Amino acid sequence: MAEVVFKTKGVTKVYKTGEVEVYALGGVDLELFKGELTVLLGPSGSGKSTLLNILGGLDHATDGQVWFGNTELTDMSDRDLTKYRRDHVGFVFQFYNLVASLTARENVQLVTDVSPDPMPAEEALTLVGLGKRMDHFPSEMSGGEQQRVAIARAIAKRPQILLCDEPTGALDSTTGVQVLEVLRDINERFGTTTVVITHNAEIQRMAHRVIFFQDGKISETRVNKTRIAPSEIVW
Amino acid sequence: MHALDIKLLRDFKRLWVQAVAIAMVLACGVAILLTSVGMYNALSETRTAYYERNRFADIFAQAKRAPLSLLAEISRIDGVMSVEARITGAATLDIPGRTRTAVGRILSYPEDSDPLLNLPFLVKGRFPNPISTKEIVVNEPFAIANGFKLGDSFSANLRGQKRSLTIVGTALSPEFVYTIGPGALMPDNESFGIIWMPERAAAAAFDMTGAFNDVAIAVASGMTTAPVIDALDTLLEPFGGLGAYDRTAQQSDAFLDAELKQLKGMAAILPPIFFLISGFLVSMVMSRIITLERSEIGLLKAIGYSDIEICLHYLMLAALIAVVGVGVGWVAGTVLAQSLAGQYARFFDFPFLIFRVSYWVYAAAGLAALLTTSLGATQAALKAARLAPAIAMQPPAPPRFKRSFIDDALARMRLSQSTVMILRSLLRWPLRSFLTSLGLALAVASVVSSTFINDALTEIIDMAFYQTNRQDAMLLFTDDLPEAVLEDVRHLPGVLQAESQQFHAAILHNGHLTKRVAVESRRPGNDLSRVLDADGKPLDVPANGVVLSKRLATQLDLRPGEKVDIEFLTGRRETFSVTVTALVEQHFGLGAYMNLENLNALFRQAPRVSTVNITLDTDQSDALHVAVKNTPHIAGIIEMNENRRSFEHTIEENIVVMNTIYIVVAMLITIGVTYNAARIQLSERARELASLRILGFGRGEVSYILVGEMMLIALVAQPFGWLIGAGIAQLMTSAFTSDLYAIPLVLKPATFAFASLVVLGAAFASVMIVRRRLDRLDLVSVMKTRE
């Protein structure tokens, strides 16, 4: 039995806007295992991003409990959550979120400067296939390249978990495939537990496990017996 | 209300802190413009009205003793409209209940009609009975300072005759709007008074029956005074004329003029700076708003709003800021103008002060503010209008950064990425960084250029009272006396040391350049009143030479070793050619110094003195005053300690007010600039900073980028601020320099340090307020939205 990296029990998240209460998550029980590549699927507003944010220490659950290994995240202070993110979590977002005034290498160094056991920025960039474009600014790169810099930045700290929210959402099929290949490569090479949120149902076929969300709850969990390579994904 | 107008008001509400920060800077400009222009007009209008109503003369002259018959000849001088002759003299006054001697300036009041010129304005009571020998009118401030009521009496020593005088009225005069007693530096109404005495009584007291020693002339309108002065000098010469002069050399008017000049300078220099800064801030904030509202602008255009409507919409936002600034500026300006008017009422004795600030000044200040903010917003508003809707709805391209040699330098310095972010951002927008820095530099300059006055005055006081004039008191004589009088003075109670000094009215000529001054002479080795060289060592004036103050030498274009013609207006009115032997730095008056013995030798007479400087045993000070009041020939006593104290007291009050105003102004500029710059930084960087937080950077580390960049700009601004401040201080010292006084440029490290402390402190506080927003940054939503 693989080691449990994340465990949630009855996690709910309620957003209050004025008088209205919106249930983003309505009691989610989930376990994620070490080295697993999981895809979260579901329509907009089904709660997948909310769960990802809670797992990543960006948001607090309204109710329920969340464990990272043996550590409970549920009531962690802001300072501890910052440390948790710094030491364990890598994020990849739809809109890259690179610092415009820093080159690719420097964007990665942002992380390597503060992590306890990082890989060299150059190595991280080479891993994502950008060894030759390290001194370019974001404005000098394509969307796919920028997203790969973001991935390099996320993995440079050797995180235990990589959380990706629509990593290919802003990309065309060719560059999207490149990005997915990098994600799979990282997952396999380092055994990093990877969670990918996507709207693209085809992407589920590269995952170990697929979790379907509907109205703030898990509606179905499916284990892929056979996985396909990103290059086989039809966009 | 249209939806667009509602958006306008909501935008303003959302931006109110930023808007207010800009509005405050604008308000400073409006307030200062209002105060300076308003007070300039008030003061000059009041002066004009007062001079006109009370027939202030154009030309003034004193003589030893001229016959009344000369008046007919004076009236015939081309251009003379009216002539008023009178008798003047000095008297020591013994005021009941007051130990110290007061000094009175006696003016005769004509017997059969009001004076034709320099008509006193009666405040209380009546003018004296022409045949009375006791009745007098005194100037109102003197009466108030001494608590006199009508009917009160005091005794006066008039050339050795003690006479009791009774106050029957109080008055003000256009000649004495600003009244300084002999030897004093500031008005002291308690110890110096103007006394109007019936002509007959004055003539008897000063032995002037059928004669006069003071004449005033009004010239016909459109006539210049110079030819009249020349003709008058010729006529008065045989009668001991001391040289006629026009209003520019009339003490009271010269002080008023100096004040007007200062107000004019203030109106010309300061408000444009404030308007400029607020224009820049508006431009900075508006272009940011338009970047943020890019897609909304696209939407508005897609709906069908015209370019002009959109342009106007953003201009209106700037106008709203201007409206707040102008409103606050009007209120503050009105309050400031009133407090300044209060100051004027204390220093200047006007029977009325027209201190309403005209509506057109309010209107002009408002318009100027509106114009500068609109100009600041124009570029941004035009950019909004020019955005094509399809493009506007797409996100803007990311800011372009390119590698340059600077990056290689940065790389070699092995700086942290946060520091690299700070430096790149500064270099990416050099104009913006420069202007922000310039704004803060101006704030520093504002503090430097106002607080340096403290050190300048300390130096003035040190020079005037501790270095050059070390006597405890000066005894003034009615006429020059033989130097043997020193022995008599030494026998007065409490006198420890006595040294002689002589003053002669003279005109210095160098080619076409001339200047009327008092030539001061003293014995070599005199220790109480000294002339100091550049190193602060006492300088003895060599025989056959004259030492000039630098300002006087500059005006006459003279250098040491050159000859100057000195035309003495006293005695035989002879002219001597004398070598300038040295120049000295001096803060009060235009000094010219000669050797007492040598000068009297030139006059072919035994040495005489007009003043004796003394040091005192303070325990016997009261006895000395009693003796002085009863001694003939003594026209007054000036106590240097009193003089210094009144100078320090008056100056201190003014300085505290002025420093406070300028420090507040500097803080407002700093807050306006820093707060807005930091807010814009934050809005541009929110995404990046949130990314860093997600990557695991702590709040402190992320704040470092925001706070670090602003404080770096503030630090860079410091040396520029010092330089600009020193420049403004230099300008101020030369602008405020007149024949009456000069302000030395004294710039000490502490002044710069204080200015930096004020500005850096205010900048840090402002950026820390913005920093609090960083803590509230919603990491999730920032990352979810595409900018």
User: B635-685 pLDDT, tens per residue?
Assistant: 888 888 888 888 888 778 778 888 888 898 899 889 988 998 898 888 888
Identify the band that residue B39 occupies on the pLDDT scale cut at 50, 70 and 90: confident
pLDDT tens digit string along B591-621? 899 998 888 888 898 889 999 999 999 888 8
Contact list in B for residue A106 (CB cut-off 8 A) is 417, 420
In chain B, CATH 2.40.40 sits at: 495-616
Does a structural domain hold residue A170? yes
Contact A137/B402, CB-based, under 8 Å?
yes
DSSP-derived pairing of the beta strands B563-568 and B575-584? antiparallel
Q: How far is B428 from chain A (nearest CA, A)?
A: 8
User: pLDDT value at position B366?
Assistant: 93
Q: How far is B399 from chain A (nearest CA, A)?
A: 7
For the segment A91-97, the average pLDDT, to the nearest whole number, is: 82
Contact B401/A115, CB-based, under 8 Å?
no
User: pLDDT value at position A219?
Assistant: 92
Q: How far is B703 from chain A (nearest CA, A)?
A: 14
With a CB-CB cutoff of 8 Å, which residues 145-174 of chain A face chain B? 153, 157, 165
Does a structural domain hold residue A66? yes
* B181 pLDDT higher than 90: no
User: pLDDT value at position B166?
Assistant: 96
pLDDT tens digit string along B433-442? 898 999 899 8
For the segment B540-558, the average pLDDT, to the nearest whole number, is: 90
Q: How far apart are CA A135 and CA B507, in angstroms?
A: 78
| Residue whose entry in the numeric block shows the structure tokens 């994620």 | A32
User: pLDDT value at position B398?
Assistant: 64
Identify the band that residue B787 occupies on the pLDDT scale cut at 50, 70 and 90: very low
Strand partners, A12: A26, A63
pLDDT tens digit string along A192-213? 999 999 888 889 999 999 999 9
Comparing C-alpha atoms, which of B152, B132, B137 is closest to residue B205?
Answer: B132
DSSP-derived pairing of the beta strands B121-125 and B135-139? unpaired
Does a structural domain hold residue A18? yes
Measured CA to CA in angstroms, residue B681 lies from B281, B297, B381, B686, B786 at distances of 13, 22, 20, 8, 18
* B545 pLDDT higher than 60: yes
A97: nearest CB among B424, B691, B701:
B691
Question: What CATH number is associated with residue A207?
Answer: 3.40.50.300
* A contact test, residue of B691, B699, B781 with most A CBs within 10 A: B691
Strand residues in A44-137 grouped as ranges (E): 63-68, 71-72, 89-92
pTM: 0.77
Q: How far is B413 from chain A (nearest CA, A)?
A: 14
pLDDT tens digit string along B65-96? 999 999 999 999 999 999 999 999 988 899 98
Comparing C-alpha atoms, which of B471, B629, B643, B633 is closest to residue B100?
Answer: B629
User: pLDDT value at position B337?
Assistant: 84
Contact A103/B421, CB-based, under 8 Å?
no
3-state secondary structure of A42: coil
Does a structural domain hold residue A148? no
* B710 pLDDT higher than 80: yes
Identify the band that residue B784 occupies on the pLDDT scale cut at 50, 70 and 90: low
Q: How far is B431 from chain A (nearest CA, A)?
A: 17
Identify the band that residue B239 occupies on the pLDDT scale cut at 50, 70 and 90: very high
Q: How far apart are CA B704 and CA B420, in angstroms?
A: 12
Q: How far is A226 from chain B (nearest CA, A)?
A: 33
Comparing C-alpha atoms, which of B475, B474, B478, B627 is closest to residue B91?
Answer: B478
B291 touches A: beta carbon within 8 Å: no
User: Mean pLDDT in chain A?
Assistant: 88
User: A193 phi and psi, to 5 degrees?
Assistant: -65, 125
What number of other Cβ atoms are within 10 A of residue B420's Cβ?
Answer: 21
- The parent domain of residue A25 ranges over 4-93+162-228
B99 touches A: beta carbon within 8 Å: no
Contact A139/B695, CB-based, under 8 Å?
no
Does a structural domain hold residue A61? yes
Contact A113/B416, CB-based, under 8 Å?
yes
What number of other Cβ atoms are within 10 A of residue B488's Cβ?
Answer: 14
B786 touches A: beta carbon within 8 Å: yes
CB proximity list for A1: less than 8 A, separation 6 or greater? none
A137 touches B: beta carbon within 8 Å: yes
Contact B779/A106, CB-based, under 8 Å?
no
CB proximity list for B372: less than 8 A, separation 6 or greater? B26, B275, B276, B278, B279
Contact list in B for residue A140 (CB cut-off 8 A) is 402
> Which overall architecture, per CATH, does domain B495-616 show?
Beta Barrel (2.40)
CB proximity list for A217: less than 8 A, separation 6 or greater? A25, A26, A27, A28, A47
B428: nearest CB among A58, A78, A101:
A101
Q: What angle, 0 to 180 degrees and rounded to 10, lies between the N-to-C axes of helices B640-695 and B699-736?
A: 150
Q: How far apart are CA A5 and CA B106, in angstroms?
A: 104
Q: Token pair of B651, please? A: 């100056």
Identify the band that residue B393 occupies on the pLDDT scale cut at 50, 70 and 90: low
* B contact test, residue of A79, A84, A101, A117 with most B CBs within 10 A: A101
User: pLDDT value at position B392?
Assistant: 67
The H or E element that residue B89 is part of is: strand B88-94
A110: nearest CB among B397, B692, B699:
B692
Q: Token pair of B390, please? A: 């399809």
**Residue B111: Cβ-neighbour burial (10 angstroms; 0-12, 13-18, 19+):** exposed
* A131 pLDDT higher than 60: yes
For the segment B312-318, the average pLDDT, to the nearest whole number, is: 90
The H or E element that residue B418 is part of is: helix B417-428
B401: nearest CB among A89, A93, A137:
A137
> Best-predicted range by mean pLDDT among B29-33, B720-724, B730-734?
B720-724
3-state secondary structure of B387: coil
User: Mean pLDDT in chain B?
Assistant: 88
A80 touches B: beta carbon within 8 Å: no
Contact list in B for residue A56 (CB cut-off 8 A) is 694
* B530 pLDDT higher than 70: yes
A101: nearest CB among B401, B701, B783:
B401
* A1 pLDDT higher than 60: no
DSSP-derived pairing of the beta strands A63-68 and A71-72? antiparallel
- Report the chain B residue with the minimal C-alpha distance to residue A82: B696
Does a structural domain hold residue A120? no
A109 touches B: beta carbon within 8 Å: yes
**Cβ–Cβ < 8 Å for A61, A87:** no
* B contact test, residue of A99, A115, A137 with most B CBs within 10 A: A99
Does a structural domain hold residue A206? yes
**Residue B747: Cβ-neighbour burial (10 angstroms; 0-12, 13-18, 19+):** middle
Contact list in B for residue A53 (CB cut-off 8 A) is 780
User: pLDDT value at position B413?
Assistant: 80
Contact B421/A53, CB-based, under 8 Å?
no
Q: How far apart are CA B518 and CA B569, in angstroms?
A: 10
B414 touches A: beta carbon within 8 Å: no
Domain count, chain A: 1
